[in-house]
Chains A and B, each alone.
Chain A
Amino acid sequence: MDKIRNMSRESRSNFITYGMVIIAYAIMQALASMHAISSSMTGLLVPITAYICMAISLNLVVGVSGELSLGHAGFMSVGAFTGVVAASALAGAIESTMLRLLLSIVIAGVAAAVAGILIGIPVMRLRGDYLAIVTLAFGEIIKNLLNNLYVGLDARGLHFSMTDTASLGMDGGKVLVNGPQGAVGFPMISTFTAGFLLVMFTLIVVQNLINSRSGRAIKAVRDNRIAAESVGIDTTKYRLMAFVVSAALAGMAGALYAQNYTAIVPKKFDFNTSILILVFVVLGGMGNIRGGIISAALLTILPEKLRFIGDYRMLMYAIVLILVMLFSNNAQVRMQIEALRHRISHRVDDQLDAQAAKGGDAR
């Protein structure tokens, strides 16, 4: 108990987030094993975890580093296609699908990090609206590059081309990525447990980064760039750090997401997906990791649950979004929530005090 009391506010909040994710996983897993959830829900489990990872990683850029990035889906697609190609290339060498998934996710993360560095170097020269516009453009560039990417696998290894399948120069083998038709016919190896583990990994990386020396520097640059420079912080380095870590985590989520299906097209990761992820972050509260997780999960489920009203479902979706935005920005609602939170945290403190006192008596 003493240990909990001595924990800083941040780490207590971190552990609440971990606990929330673990409990949600346990409940869903239990329900799934009892066949208590519909098959459409079961199909959503992995996408939900992937979107949660995307929301957490984008929060690092938008909420913590304070830059509006509109091309996050681009890094997801880099990860998705790299993951699919890596998993297929490793299929012969590694029997275990779990290990293959893990390796493909790691390779996807590295590839997306490289993309993040390449894009980050020019982008980090800009700020504010200009940065947002350029990230948007890079997201589209990535999509168009992947639209023209052809990858084949035969006995001699991997073949790449940017023109067509014929120029791959394959003898036999299989075309893994076929331009605008995307990647087809790869095995579905993502599982809900893998998704849960990736969410935990993403959470740990982001929360640990935020509460470290580097994270403080990132937040310092967000709060006041001039003051950060004046205390000797290399602002470009830390903005780039947040951007690249975020890109790597998005790539990992992309690999997980893609391998939940048997086919994936570059068009899936367009501007709309970037905005969708941004909506998760904004709705959950910028910089609020837990809020981002909840909104990513709910907003992924919502369109499915609204299917019964047919054509009106996207309309409803938009109305729900607007209502949530209005309410979460309403001063009165905010005060009420703040007061409630205050009361709860005091009650916890009182309980801890009472328990500490009891412990003292017993001795």
Chain B
Amino acid sequence: MTRDEGTYKAQSEHAAKTETRHEGTYRAQAERAAGKGAPEHRHNRQRTKMVAPPNDYLVPERDALLTPVLECRHLGIDFGGLKAVEDLNLMVGKTEIAGLIGPNGAGKTTVFNLLTKVYQPTRGTILLDGQDTAGMDTARVSREGIARTFQNIRLFDSLTVEDNVKIGLHNQVECGMWSGIFRAPRYWLSEQEFHRRALELLDVFNMADNADDIAGSLPYGAQRRLEIVRALATNPKLLLLDEPAAGMNPVETEELMDNIVKIRDDFQIAVLLIEHDMDLVMGICEGIVVLNFGKVIAKGTPEEIQANPQVVEAYLGKQE
């Protein structure tokens, strides 16, 4: 879908919504138009003023004409009576580094779980690179191009660092069960490919020397980095990082910031990250969305967010 079509669709949807809201007025107009009212009115109908509906999508200028990698429309999920996320509208540009912040319990990780289909949304649509992800499961969404890391690290603890990355490469290199069992030529070729690409990816974070270590025995910071490498291995269009700097010291965080930018530049992908470390968020995020009680309370550049009184209130409480 081209960008123009997208906008058009959004507009027509908006129009449809307005119609239901003002049904009465429209019906009266329609009846008049159909000639039920006085016939002379048909020729001098009121000229409708057409406007672009308000939308608060923000993307970097360089991505404005490209299909956005992610578009959420009116996304929401209820847990029983609790609306954990409500009416979330969000757009992430093709090569944007976006931030999703908010106080504890605001629903940030829930948004990630909605995007990766760990939860099925109660309302709304998620478009991944223009494609609706309705009805897909987690594995399918990953194949379509969303990769993620977890707030509480989820590595394959008993396997080596290299195997962890190879599992990330699972859908990138083909080798069926029979080729594996009977060591067909296909197997040896694919294993070479697995090995080469795994080391290449580990090199991004200078972890190639740790390739043979057991993942569960790595220090905390290295485990976080390995999770990012594993996510990158799935060849994503959008990388979701859930608190990537948690548990890292300032030096490591500094390095991580450089690496996230480097990943975006080298792989030309979008990154959406949840983070409490404001130095990191304000340092590398281009667009920021602030969530509180499941609702978006602010969107904008780091400068705009810092100056936003609502955001300050959400984090620090109302000033007396």
The residues of A with any CB-CB pair to B shorter than 8 Å are 9, 205, 208-209, 212-217, 219-220, 223-224, 226-235, 241, 245
Contacts and interface: CB of A to CB of B under 8 A. Distances in A.
A232 B170 contact: yes
Nearest to B230: A231
Contact of B181 (A9, A205, A219, A227): A205
Interface in B154-174: 154-159, 163, 166-168, 170-171, 173
Contacts of B176: 214
Interface of B: 116, 118, 137-140, 142-143, 147-148, 150, 154-159, 163, 166-168, 170-171, 173, 175-177, 179-183, 187, 190-191, 194, 212, 230-231, 233-234
A233 B167 contact: yes
Contacts of B118: 226
A205 B212 CA distance: 24
Nearest to A9: B212
A216 B163 contact: yes
A219 B214 CA distance: 14
Nearest to A210: B180
Contacts, number: 99
Given A209-B181, A226-B118, A241-B177, A231 B142 contact: yes
A213 B163 contact: no
B171 A232 contact: yes
A220 B156 contact: yes
B139 A232 contact: yes
Contact of A212 (B140, B155, B175, B234): B175
A233 B156 contact: no
B110 to A, nearest CB: 15
Contacts of B187: 212
A208 B147 contact: no
Nearest to B141: A232
A216 B139 contact: no
A213 B142 contact: no
A241 B178 CA distance: 11
B167 A216 contact: yes
Contact of B139 (A205, A212, A215, A233): A233
Contacts of B191: 212
A232 B157 CA distance: 18
Given A208-B180, A213-B190, A232-B170, A219 B159 contact: yes
Given A227-B154, A245-B177, 14 more contacts: A208-B180, A212-B191, A213-B190, A216-B166, A223-B157, A224-B156, A230-B142, A231-B142, A231-B147, A231-B170, A231-B230, A232-B143, A233-B139, A235-B139
25 contacts: A209-B180, A216-B167, A217-B170, A219-B159, A220-B156, A220-B170, A223-B158, A223-B159, A224-B154, A226-B118, A226-B138, A227-B154, A228-B167, A229-B137, A229-B139, A230-B116, A230-B138, A230-B142, A230-B147, A231-B147, A231-B167, A231-B234, A232-B139, A232-B143, A232-B170
A235 B170 CA distance: 12
B215 to A, nearest CB: 9
Contact of A227 (B155, B163, B177, B190): B155
B208 to A, nearest CB: 16
Nearest to B216: A223
Nearest to A204: B181
A233 B156 CA distance: 13
Nearest to A241: B177
Contacts of B155: 223-224, 227
A229 B142 contact: yes
Contacts of A233: 139, 167, 170
Q: Which of A9, A215, A234 has the most CB of B within 10 A?
A: A234
A227 B234 CA distance: 12
Contacts of A235: 139
Nearest to B190: A213
A109 to B, nearest CB: 13
A233 B155 CA distance: 14
Contacts of B157: 223-224
A9 B154 CA distance: 24
A210 to B, nearest CB: 9
A283 to B, nearest CB: 20
A220 B155 CA distance: 9
Contacts of A234: 139
Nearest to A234: B139
A233 B233 CA distance: 13
A219 B158 CA distance: 9
A223 B156 CA distance: 5
B288 to A, nearest CB: 24
A229 B138 contact: yes
B238 to A, nearest CB: 13
